[in-house]
Structure 1
Amino acid sequence: MAGPGGGPSRRSHTKSRKGCKTCKKRHIRCDETFPQCRNCTKHQVRCDYMDSPNALVPESPKSPQQPNLLWTAEINATVELWQQTGEFPFPELRVYPEPHWRAYPKTDLRLIHHLSSITNEMFRNRTSSLTVWTDLMPKFLSVAASHPFVMHSILAFSASHLAWISQSSETRNLAFHHAGIALKGLHDGIATFTRINSDAVLASSLLLAWQATDWRGWASLVQGTKTVIQAMQPWRHESLFAEFIAEHSPMPSRNFMIPISSPVTQDARREHMETLSDLQSALQRLQPYLNRQDQESKWVDQLRSYIDRLRTSSPPQTAEEQFGQLYALRKWLFWVPISLLAAKRGDPTVLVVLAHFYSAALALEPMFKDIGSVFCANLSLRPLEDIIHIVQGYQDPRYDQRTQGVSYLIQFPSNIASSYKTRRDWVRQQTNDSSPVQQSPYGLETLNLDLENQIAAYSYGQSQSLSPAFAPSPLTSLPHGIPSGQTSPYLEVPRTVVEAFGSTSYASPLGSPATVPPPYSVHDDHVFNFGMPMGYHPSGFVATPTPIWT
């Protein structure tokens, strides 16, 4: 049939109306893959298909227990070729020596591919220094070539992120399976600690500490990291992690395993409230620049909600309480930057938003004086300084008015970074003056005994030994609706002891990803939604009420 004017007929086509919202906003074709479309997977953003009731239905009834590793046809082809040839798909990362890739099963290669693809994109776009961890990943992989327990630490780290995206309990199981093996290997590595395996012990300690979901497991691993860094001082310049060691030496002199209560004075609380008000004001100034920035706007809303929660909550007095209140921010520091940078690598608005996340970690450090510097602030300083340097360059008159306007919002994060460095340097000077050469009594033997006690005391399932970061919490009583039996806090927010139902006290992990918390007053500061508004999704977005995952 001839078209208008006698020309050839137009090719008929049908426009898909089932594509995800992200693809529609970006005006690209959505492949409609459930539960995460290919474009969202590529850019490390949450696909709104995950919010559909059908998203949690297994794709195939033949394999309902398989971990959801967000496979795509492209990833599958890449991994299969990798397995056949043994050639690493990301040579730009310069991993040397390379692990013997053909020895790894396909699932492990997928987990390695996940972190490597993120890292490769950050390196390619010259944004790796703007994140907490991507700069270190090639070094971790190099060390893992000759130390399998480091590779298991990497596999656990990757699986934990994929589980956070997909809400898959099977992927969680895979994460703490690898973490348990890594912990055993770390224990053996410390028992035979030498200059040769010191990088491996440090790498595994870092990776496992980054994944810890309860205070005691984190404190043990961080204390171990501190001890290892001290032991490595004579040969620190030979280490692959020499720069990291320099940035984190000396570490605070206190023993993180000792639960110290630190009451907050009225004057200190007043200063803390002023800090929270300053953070809220800074975030408010960002709002006019986020009208067309949907993802960035949602993350800023999450951070504002978190700051509001801190303002109305009781000040934390113990290290464990501090861990619980900082946990959500810490999680975001690891994964929000890679999500935003992958989508819009050169956007000054994205950089300024990330600068406010990092500066929040620095500004909040005095409120969490027992763990704040090691848990969040020290990790955030370097990427924040790099972002400040980049964004200040946008203040040049050659850029348009909007770009220049948003670039001046970097002043608040810049002031926070300067204040934090001054405060940190003063503390270090005081420490050096009071104990110039004092060695921590917490040595390698003590560290390994502590890990040995963890392995003996904590287990998941039959005989799998795990650190407290991956093991169940002993419940003294279970609230209605939470099933008994083995549970893992990897599926929940951090454990803590809260008062509920009169005088009953209980340690409160959620029993399973399907468990809905019991009803609480909106004024309760309970473990289930601290810093996480009702309906919190793993991406940090707010939607309909769902279980909370970490």
Structure 2
Amino acid sequence: MRTNTSVRGRRSHQKSRHGCQQCKLRKVKCGEEKPNCANCTRHGVDCSYAHAARIEGSSSSSCVQPTSPGDASTMLSGSPGSDGHSQAATAAATDLAIADLELLHHFTTSTAYTFSRHPILQSFWRVEVPQIGFTAPYTLRAILALSALHLAHLRPDQSPSYIAQATIHHDAALKLATPEMANITPDNSAPLFLFSALSTFIWCAKPLKPGNFLLWENHEIASWLVLIRGTGTILDFADEALKNGPLASMFSARARNRIAEPVPQHQILENLRYLVMEDVPEPHMAQVYGSVIDEMNRPFVMCLERNLRLETADVFSWLLRVPHEFLLLLKDYQPLAMVIFGYFCVLLHQLEWMWCMKGWSTHLLSQIYNKLSPAYRAWIRWPIEQIGFLPPR
């Protein structure tokens, strides 16, 4: 017995070239309603025509010969336009910021190990710091900027290109972070704290030049110093949120290296205090200079008496605690302030195992020596001998 059967064919429809990306991914016809198509409205998903247009634009341009031999799409996809696979690969490659990915890879595999010799802190910079960067574009930009400067240090022949990348990323980061600094919350305290720390390294990694005293230049306090002193505000505002949050491993590792008990004044600083107090007739200024010398005592005892390895926080925390009035004296080249800063150079010298700190102690001490009169030059004889700086005759 013969049975009449009919095969139902596929319903014909007109293909949409301008539908939203979500309908394209689901392979359904888009009604192209704006701003949200009916399909997306029904399913409660975001409708993105702009993204779809960008993808289509990338695909259509993938058949065009790259403008330069070093184009990322050429390197990743081979010969553009040779077949469908290479065209798709080319389109995908043009959506990737290859240079930025290189910087992020270098940070996690190399730069992250250069901030500390402590294994826990190395892991912190390698793992947690990029993760925090993904939550705050200004921190991520600072990571990329510092990685670029590290590559400039390692590859001198490509230094101008990497320094240019670093400048672009850090300038963009500053624009993003500055408004956040005025509105510190427990949620943004960790990325802002890291951004300040990274900005310190970025500034130190820049090429040395005459007239740059690290803390000030051309009678102006350095912008990075104003920024890092803001971390004191962050610590005051969100101390517990930082120490118990994503920065917990950093603070706990640092705590193990600290001297808990009070320590007597180091003899070298006691001698310096005596010289300074003999030269300062005004009680208020004597108090300012005395407090600055006292703030150096703990790291001096750590490295010179107990032979402990100094971390960057042990040295740069001095900059968070000195009075603003002392910084004003420094930028005006006041002799006593310059002498005290010369002793701080001994602490900076303890960090010269870091690539971004290399040469800073000698650079600063030589400029301090040139600014001081012969009478005050004798006061910095001890720092000169400790660092191994040879003054000009």
What band does the TM-score fall into relative to the shorter chain? 0.3 to 0.5
More helix by share: 2
The structure with higher relative contact order (CA 8 Å, sep 6+) is: 1
What TM-score does the superposition give when structure 1 sets the normalisation length? 0.31
What TM-score does the superposition give when structure 2 sets the normalisation length? 0.41
